[in-house]
Structure 1
Amino acid sequence: MSITIAEILRLPSMHDAKVVAGGQALERRVSTISVSEYTWNTQFKDMYFDYADSEIVISAFYAAKDSVEKQLNNIEVYHSNRVAGLILFYVGVILPYLDERVVSLAERLNFPIIMMPEGRPDLRYSEVIYEVVEAIIKSHRHYKDLTNDIIEQVSCFPASQRSLGFAMRILSNNTFSTIVLADMSGEPYHVSVWPRNVNAEGYLRDGKVIIEGELNPIMGESCRVYVYPIRSAKGLPLQAVIYKRGEVFDADAVRQIGETIQTAINLWGRNVGESPLSELVGAILRDEPYKIKRLSSLFRVDVSDIRDMWILQAGQPDKTDQLLGLLPRLLQDELPRARGGFIYDAFEESGVVMFHAVRARDGLPEAARALLESLRGHGADALLTDCRNLGGLERIRRAYTLNERALRTAKKIFPLKPLFTLFELRFADECIKRIEAGDDSARQAMEMLEAIPGDGGISYGDMLKTLFAYYLDADRSAAAAAELLFVHKNTIQYRIKKFHELIADDLGGMLEVNELLMALAIGRILESDRKSRS
């Protein structure tokens, strides 16, 4: 049904290719291959590219060859879209070199990058594409253990990307069939079409699946139809309707497809067969388009109105169950002041709140602070990320992914903060990239701190503590920093004045302040990591 990245590496066309990142994910399965030569920071920045699930991508980074930032962004987009890995061509020909920051990011995301031999303009995409497609087709000839194969493919991806809809899309790709999961009246819950250029609505009539005997005319073409009985997690009767062009499925193939869907429901489809509005949260974050359309229509929610989102996590991992248990009631108490609609659900280890048609968006920060205070009153310290002005489902998903990646680092930089913004998370993420780029990059970022003198009656340690408190904790308020360090306000002012005189006469410029903030943040991250190891 598919092949692994490790098997691709053994193909003759991949001779002398080397894995430069994501070596722990080589058993990830691949069901298709494509070429990608665009970047999301230029003309495509507002578009969303829906890759096939378990797809491996070939690229030379042509559109991003002159910008490491664009290359990093491409890796993040590939990862968030469940791309299995990247085969990178023409390093030393089109792409001058593969930057270590790109390798570090891919390694952190456990995203495989396979680099073809450097300096070889004679290599051809077509040779790799031919051999990979041939190997995938050979794997399709027999359905030996379809259920384990599909579940294994889904399980190779991060928990936030595992879902019933994801499993069904991989299943559809692997069997070259369109699959609809519906209730017994024909009302669809999930639709996964193959090929992708076919509209899902073509398999429906008046919103219900088309089942008119063994052969059905679908969009002018005859399709064989197979129906397999399914049960929801709560025992409600459902049906898997399978549409197949050309090849005929035998009874065993239909059984394996049905059992695969049943297993995926048991693992990732807890509310299939029901229609709670809260399910819209997971549908958006997991990118389940048909489910989004069905739920938003059913509850009359315009998902384009969702511009703000809160993500809440327990301050301590062992308090997650307590937090998720408190949130539904406390949200009802605190959010009426926002004067608009909200949707809440627990997603993985987080509580996620999405706001739609909010008439008083300026009231959301106040409501967030009130919610955190209420949680503290119930003995549940929480971290809340306030994601504002998102404007689009893809941006919502990217914000959630960024939060998963950078929140704990942001907490190391700002240990006193319970309420974070996307700006702070992006700053923390940039610090991570600088550290992962190697010792030289981190040392260069911290040069300003290393130059702090130990004379003038102020120790290096005292000066560093003062800078941490003044710039990172107290928002450059001498009075607040003095309170945190238990010293007089004049002491803080003297130390900051001394630092300006000895290190930089003027830290009023944006670039100078940003450089100092980066140095302080990296210093705090490294200090926190050292303490956790000791």
Structure 2
Amino acid sequence: MSITVEDCLQLSVLREAEVVAGAKGLNNIVAHVSVLEWSNSLALKNGIFLGNEIVITCFHYAKDDVDAQCQVVRDLSAAGEVGMILYYVGIVLPDIDARLIRTADELGYPLICMPRNRFDYRYSEAITEIMEAVFKDQMKEKYYVKDMLERLAMLPERQRTIGNVLRMLSDRLYCSIILCDREFKLLDAATWPTTANLNLPEILNLYKNTVLSRPGVNNLEFTYDNEVMAARSQPIATDDGYSMNLIFLNLPEKKVLGDAIAQAAELIQLSSSIWNFDIRQEGHREMLKAFFYDEPIKLKRIANGLHIDIDRLQTMWVLKSKADSPTREALTLKNSRLLALLKHFFNEHHIHAIADHFEDNVVALIEPPYGETTMTSFLEEFMKTVQDESVRAFPVNCPGENAAGAFRKAYFEIQDNDGSAMTIYPSKRIINTHEIEFSGLCREIAEKGKEAIDEKLKVLRALGAQDDFAGKELVSTLEVFLLDAEANVEQTSKLLFLHKSTIKYRIKKIKELLGCDIAKLPEAYSLYVAVAVKRLIASL
């Protein structure tokens, strides 16, 4: 048995609390409690939260920003978090906005409101009671493998990694854990606490030397950083017979029980079998997974094995295509052909890159050729060779030493907003990061509902968009002129199959009615947003 959000509501500290949204998620399993008083979207998606945590907040940092509150709920839900307890509503947070409730309901993410206008409720009380219930449940349920498999199954796919399995084990057993092969090569690890600054390769080497000096002894001790460290190992064999070792590290007075160690090995074996964790793979696909799923140990190991300098990868291409049929096999076949074409292009131009399938895309991390600062011209040339008109390219340029984090952020922004971008820019085969970011803003406006949409579209009323055919023609011309033709009259005429003089007349009329230059910033920005939002909601 595991503690659920509904079980937590029966605790004395939460009995006066009210579930205001997300009731569909009350059966979510709670493993930890976290406090959130600051938010960064990328951090929420990549590792600060590890899933199955109930989050406590008063939204002090976003008390007047409903959009930010909704985004946090979306990010936490995507990260596998199980619910939120809101404190000090009516004091710090003015009220719980209907949009936040709607967002939580759509996600099945429980929002639990503590009694309103009360300052005498403390975070510590909820943390203590919830964690006490979790600890009691763990003590009662000695066999924890089933519970952890259920928790893993509830996580988003990108968080189902061997690194996160080790993280969950480390949190359960309160010790650092190293996974290595039989030659003591570091495969992955999780430290306890998570902030522990341990030199894992050095520890592994010390352990190896101790093992070789005392063969056949499992409970070993050695000195690291002037402290005695205890170590105990558990062998693991995968389905195909590959041998590995789990090494549990902790201080001598905190020995890990043998049964718990055996269960840890069982969890690694079962999760590897269920979700096809192939720890040995060291190809481009596994490197992309380690890169985007934020697995630094695995990334470094694979990069060293492939002799790749990660800091030299300064450009990313994400290629997306639509399958001719709705089956996954059809999309996989299309992507395989696209990948083969891309690799041939790189070989022809002597470009060093990591390229492979990733999720439903083809992704390349590229080291620009000597003397090139961007890969724009190369991408344009490559897209000319792609005959499949459904393929769209999303380039990202991130020069500098912190490119990995920037690439991760850009990749997930593309994943979140590619559909909106392809709707707003249907004729563009290459969609840049600015257009992705803009598409995300338009999507957020559309998600806010009628009031927010009408506010953005009101600038078009002067054209009579809803009143007469001529007005609708003007809006349609403005839409193509700004979004598809990059404010070019000749290109607009080609796209609308009209004579240039007709387009010139319409543009002149639009300028007269609006009283501004529709091709000049900042005047044109509100118009650009309006026609983009209009096009986006028309597709919904």
Task: Tell me the TM-score normalised to structure 1 length.
Answer: 0.86
Instruction: In structure 1, list runs of 5 or more residues that go unmatched.
Output: 530-534
Q: For residue 483 of structure 1, what is the aligned residue in structure 2?
A: 494
Given the superposition, is the C-alpha separation of residues 144 and 208 from structure 1 closer, same or farther in structure 2, using an over 3 Å criterion?
Answer: same
**1:103-161 C-alpha deviation (Å, 9 max, x unpaired):** 56656666554333332212111111111111121122144553332222122222233
Paired amino acid for 2:15: H
Given the superposition, is the C-alpha separation of residues 238 and 355 from structure 1 closer, same or farther in structure 2, using an over 3 Å criterion?
Answer: same
Q: For residue 315 of structure 2, what is the aligned residue in structure 1?
A: 308
Match of 1:228 among 221, 232, 235: 235
Cα-Cα RMSD:
3.3
1:241 aligns with 2:239: no
Inter-partner Cα distance in structure 2 for 1:24 and 1:190: 35
**1:485-521 C-alpha deviation (Å, 9 max, x unpaired):** 1111111121122122123334355344222122212
Given the superposition, is the C-alpha separation of residues 456 and 58 from structure 1 closer, same or farther in structure 2, using an over 3 Å criterion?
Answer: closer
Instruction: In structure 2, list runs of 5 or more residues that go unmatched.
Output: 212-216
Inter-partner Cα distance in structure 2 for 1:23 and 1:337: 56
Inter-partner Cα distance in structure 2 for 1:364 and 1:144: 55
Q: For residue 136 of structure 1, what is the aligned residue in structure 2?
A: 134
Q: For residue 288 of structure 1, what is the aligned residue in structure 2?
A: 295
**1:72-109 C-alpha deviation (Å, 9 max, x unpaired):** 66556645655444322222212233455555665666
Inter-partner Cα distance in structure 1 for 2:374 and 2:368: 13
Greater shift, 282-291 or 414-423, is seen at 414-423
The answer to whether the 8 A contact 1:104-1:433 is kept is no
Greater shift, 69-78 or 393-402, is seen at 69-78
Q: For residue 271 of structure 1, what is the aligned residue in structure 2?
A: 278
Query: Which structure 2 residues correspond to residues 120-519 of structure 1 after superposition, within 5 A?
Result: 120-202=118-200, 204-205=202-203, 207=205, 210=208, 212=211, 213-217=217-221, 219=224, 220-231=227-238, 235-243=241-249, 246=253, 251-316=258-323, 318=327, 319-335=330-346, 340-356=351-367, 358-362=369-373, 364-376=375-387, 379=388, 381-389=390-398, 391-453=402-464, 459-508=470-519, 510-519=521-530
Given the superposition, is the C-alpha separation of residues 17 and 399 from structure 1 closer, same or farther in structure 2, using an over 3 Å criterion?
Answer: farther
Given the superposition, is the C-alpha separation of residues 182 and 49 from structure 1 closer, same or farther in structure 2, using an over 3 Å criterion?
Answer: closer
SS of equivalent to 1:281: helix
Paired amino acid for 2:447: E
Given the superposition, is the C-alpha separation of residues 524 and 18 from structure 1 closer, same or farther in structure 2, using an over 3 Å criterion?
Answer: farther
Q: For residue 116 of structure 2, what is the aligned residue in structure 1?
A: 118
Shift in Å at residue 187 of structure 1?
0.9
Shift in Å at residue 272 of structure 1?
1.3
Q: For residue 532 of structure 1, what is the aligned residue in structure 2?
A: none
Inter-partner Cα distance in structure 2 for 1:181 and 1:516: 56
SS of equivalent to 2:115: coil
Inter-partner Cα distance in structure 1 for 2:219 and 2:357: 42
Paired amino acid for 2:396: C
Inter-partner Cα distance in structure 2 for 1:432 and 1:365: 27
Inter-partner Cα distance in structure 2 for 1:460 and 1:509: 22
Shift in Å at residue 49 of structure 1?
7.3
Inter-partner Cα distance in structure 1 for 2:20 and 2:468: 49
The answer to whether the 8 A contact 2:138-2:144 is kept is no
1:11 aligns with 2:20: no
The answer to whether the 8 A contact 2:50-2:81 is kept is yes
Paired amino acid for 1:178: S
Inter-partner Cα distance in structure 1 for 2:286 and 2:106: 30
Higher relative contact order (CA 8 A, sep 6+): 1
Paired amino acid for 1:386: P
Q: For residue 54 of structure 1, what is the aligned residue in structure 2?
A: 52
SS of equivalent to 1:510: coil
Given the superposition, is the C-alpha separation of residues 438 and 296 from structure 1 closer, same or farther in structure 2, using an over 3 Å criterion?
Answer: same
Shift in Å at residue 22 of structure 1?
4.7
Q: Percent identity?
A: 26
The answer to whether the 8 A contact 2:104-2:111 is kept is yes
Inter-partner Cα distance in structure 2 for 1:103 and 1:433: 16
Shift in Å at residue 225 of structure 1?
0.9
Q: For residue 38 of structure 1, what is the aligned residue in structure 2?
A: 38
SS of equivalent to 1:386: strand
Paired amino acid for 2:337: L
Inter-partner Cα distance in structure 1 for 2:115 and 2:175: 37
Paired amino acid for 1:237: S
Task: Tell me the TM-score normalised to structure 2 length.
Answer: 0.85
The answer to whether the 8 A contact 1:188-1:208 is kept is no
**1:385-420 C-alpha deviation (Å, 9 max, x unpaired):** 112227433322222221121101111111112221
The answer to whether the 8 A contact 1:399-1:422 is kept is yes
Inter-partner Cα distance in structure 2 for 1:108 and 1:25: 10
Inter-partner Cα distance in structure 2 for 1:75 and 1:209: 43
Inter-partner Cα distance in structure 2 for 1:429 and 1:328: 27
Q: What is the total number of aligned residue pairs between the two structures?
A: 522
